[in-house]
Structure 1
């Protein structure tokens, strides 16, 4: 496959992740797909990764498109555990998404975010989930409350924007994916609370990235 432009890379992602007869459509319809699709997707992701390295803002529509991929895959895999081959697809797409939002070395905005988090010892949703804490406990409630409030603020500020913060958009996707990866460690009532919080998170991220 020849080198593609950034716009072509966006179009490749849209075709395979959104349009009918794309990768996600075929997976969700239980249809076979050609493994060469993954090669094309990887090249498109690499193009975007290289282009976004020096960018602090990215197209909101692309961030929205990426935000739904892993949750859709996870939902289908939960419904069809026999489709073990999709685990590889999930891991590869997850890695590609992580890389395009990575900031290495840290830029000024990312460095400020890290310093602020460490200095203020702010509660962290990923940490609460990884430690299997009940989100109804004070630290969990505070983390969710502050995160949801921040998302509401960004949804309002970003309503008319076409370009949004790469750091914030990537963090939203990371938080959403953390609920997927860590949520399976919970059971019973706690599991239901996690799912309810995840549903609310999905709605708020959707308002931020889709309007």
Structure 2
């Protein structure tokens, strides 16, 4: 006998603001003029432009709550490093898409929340091993890359997050995702809820 029960489908909405995540990008002088820079800990030839913004949702985009947005993170770790949790920051901007700021140093950026992704319990063997060959006077070395996804579910009056690792939603004996809402982020959530109710 077939069940008539159907999974509820949430209606699509139009983004009233742009939402993004703070990232680092390979430094390019013509793009990242006057931005904060940092040399890669594992490759001195690579310089990063810090506090850049990757916009995941742009104002005016159609948002489907049934289709999460995915941001992939790649963390480099030394062999034997036991770190298994990392922070990332979600921001928003009311600016029109053509005037979105590239970094947190530019006006028009509001911090919504900080996300702590916790992969405690994942063994080093699950990470991607990278080996750098010896070049000239530089000795060879190895490091690991921890790759994981944070999925953002944009609900009608809220943002929710999931941590995915190795193709599966991560769950352990701890909270895999912890959210710390900024004061501005809490206000945005309240305003959005009042507008849509």
TM-score normalised by length of structure 1: 0.22
Question: Quick check: which one's helix share is greater?
Answer: 1
Q: Which has the larger radius of gyration?
A: 2
Q: TM-score with structure 2 length normalisation? A: 0.23
Structure (1 or 2) with the greater strand fraction: 2
